[in-house]
A = this chain, B = another copy of it.
Amino acid sequence: MRPRKAYEWLVEHHRINARYDSIRELLGWDQRTHLPKGGQANRAAQITTLAGLISGRKTDPKIGDMLGDVEGSSLVRNKLSDEAVNVREWRRAYDRAKKIPEWLAVQIARISSECEMAWQSARQANDWQSFMPHLGSLVELKREEAGRLTTTGTAYDSLIKQFEPGETAESLAAIFSKMVKPLIDLTNEIRESPFQPDPEILQGYSPIWKQKELIRQITGRVGYDLDSGQIDRSSHPFTSAIGPGDVRITTRYRADSFAEALFSAIHESGHALYEQGLPPEHWGTPRGTAVSMAIHESQSLMWENMIARSTGFWKMFYPSLQTHFPWLESIPRDSFHFAVNRVQPGLIRTEADEVTYNLHVILRFELEKALIGREIEVEDLPHAWNEKMKKYLLIKPPDYAQGVMQDVHWAAGAFGYFPSYALGTVYAAQFYAKAAKDIGDPESFFEAGHFGPFLAWFRGKIYSQGSRYLPRALVKTVTGEELNPRHLIDYLDKKYGMLYALC
């Protein structure tokens, strides 16, 4: 077939795949937000049926034929053209998909859907024993998948690459190893500072309808388009990019403090801003798709921490916050700002501060590397978890729910995802530093409530690029420099040095 015709066939075929993925995304969103208990078996069956269909379409040998007709043609000569980018990523996905037989794709979809449902109730009951067999089956399947995907490197590398093209456990460890000591040192310095914030000031009666109103106001103001999104409630906050014009976020509420719901919602808004900033005309093709989970997490973590915990941000929003929660009227803004940036080694990753957060992630990275590499088994996880908590954070989890069972990721089969969080903070700091150079001090914009110029920089440089550049090439192109954790460490040293008056 002529290259142009073959290319058009590939676009159409992948657009339809994307529709099915988008249907599956809705099934997942509903499972986490609305599905009644009685409907869980049917949901697992729906997902299984759809996974079989999608797997069949993604391994259709016609894809290979069509790719063969396009690759090497003049259509893809310019490696940064839309066509070349799409063909590059379709090839990568097709070669991966071919290695996974349909039965395995279907099994993974079914067992991970069931395992996640088991996790939801087992975590509430702190019941590791009932959860372990589900996780065990899933780990076996993921090892099987990883083994089949691996041509070079380790099995775990193959899982990492699903989320982070171009990375391996080794390349990640090289980055992380430059971070661990500075982070532990900074944590220790902070622990010893005579200046400490008062976390109690964040506690107070926070009616949920008021939290909802505030969250709509703030997320809308920073740029989340609520006509193309919506905010729901779930036990674990997440973002669901169901399709063009439909990017939903969730958060979780507690009536004794607004902080968790608010910062989780802003975190998810960061994901949503990226998704809403992808070029809609390329929807359903790699050119219109987010390039990696680290780039995704760079945005959620940047909006949550670097922006929504900055001084400038609260100069803008603190008056409105005080109006919503009148008990804050007697609290000076500086005390509030210090409290929301409190550094304190804790049990829960999603509640961790910026300084200790990456230690939580590195712990998980090391555990899943050992687990997929068969150095440990599922039954060893609780003990290994607690050992690493002691090593990195000097803390002992009192139970499973606040330890090894706290995150949904493993239960959902997302092994290889965790490193993207830590990598994301590295990207975030490097992007942010460059944006500040290009447009001037971002905080002066936040202070005035003008998120436009800052958001426009990210839309232009990153969101609108889709998968044009792989992540390491993206950071090089955008910042003119290789990926470098120094920006993150500098940012943390400066911010927390000021807050805690470190010398």
A226-B36 contact in complex given A26-B27, A26-B30, A42-B246, C-beta closer than 8 Å? yes
Q: Are A22 and B38 in contact (CB under 8 A)?
A: no
Q: Are B23 and A46 in contact (CB under 8 A)?
A: yes
Q: For the complex formed by this chain, how many copies does it contain in all?
A: 2
Interface 9-mer from A237-245, A342-350, A371-379: A237-245
Interface residues of A in 9-35 (CB under 8 A from B): 16, 19-20, 22-23, 26-27, 30, 34-35
Would you call A227 an interface residue if the criterion is a C-beta within 8 Å of the partner chain's C-beta atoms? yes
Q: List 6 A-B contacts (CB under 8 A).
A: A22-B42, A23-B46, A30-B30, A36-B228, A39-B243, A40-B245
A residues near B (Cβ < 8 Å) are: 16, 19-20, 22-23, 26-27, 30, 34-43, 45-46, 49-50, 53, 225-230, 232, 242-246, 248
Q: Are B246 and A16 in contact (CB under 8 A)?
A: no
Tell me, rounded to whole Å, the shortest Cβ–Cβ distance linking A239 to chain B: 14
Residue of B nearest to A209 (CB): B209
CA distance A39 to B275 in the complex (A): 13
Q: Which residues of B contact A226 (CB under 8 A)?
A: 36
Most buried by B among A30, A36, A45, A225: A36
CA distance A39 to B42 in the complex (A): 25
A227-B22 contact in complex given A42-B246, A243-B42, A243-B46, C-beta closer than 8 Å? no
Q: Which residues of B contact A36 (CB under 8 A)?
A: 226-230, 245-246, 248
Q: Which residues of B contact A46 (CB under 8 A)?
A: 19, 22-23, 26, 243
CA distance A230 to B38 in the complex (A): 10
Tell me, rounded to whole Å, the shortest Cβ–Cβ distance linking A148 to chain B: 26
Q: Which residues of B contact A225 (CB under 8 A)?
A: 38
User: A22-B46, A36-B227, A42-B245 are known contacts; what are 12 more A-B pairs with Cβ within 8 Å?
Assistant: A23-B46, A23-B49, A26-B26, A35-B246, A36-B229, A37-B228, A38-B225, A38-B227, A39-B242, A39-B246, A41-B244, A42-B243
Q: Which residues of B contact A22 (CB under 8 A)?
A: 42, 46
Most buried by B among A19, A27, A38, A242: A38
Q: Are B38 and A50 in contact (CB under 8 A)?
A: no
Tell me, rounded to whole Å, the shortest Cβ–Cβ distance linking A288 to chain B: 13
CA distance A34 to B34 in the complex (A): 11
Q: Which residues of B contact A41 (CB under 8 A)?
A: 244-245
Q: Which residues of B contact A228 (CB under 8 A)?
A: 36-39
Tell me, rounded to whole Å, the shortest Cβ–Cβ distance linking A241 to chain B: 11
Residue of B nearest to A244 (CB): B42
Q: Which residues of B contact A16 (CB under 8 A)?
A: 49
CA distance A26 to B25 in the complex (A): 12
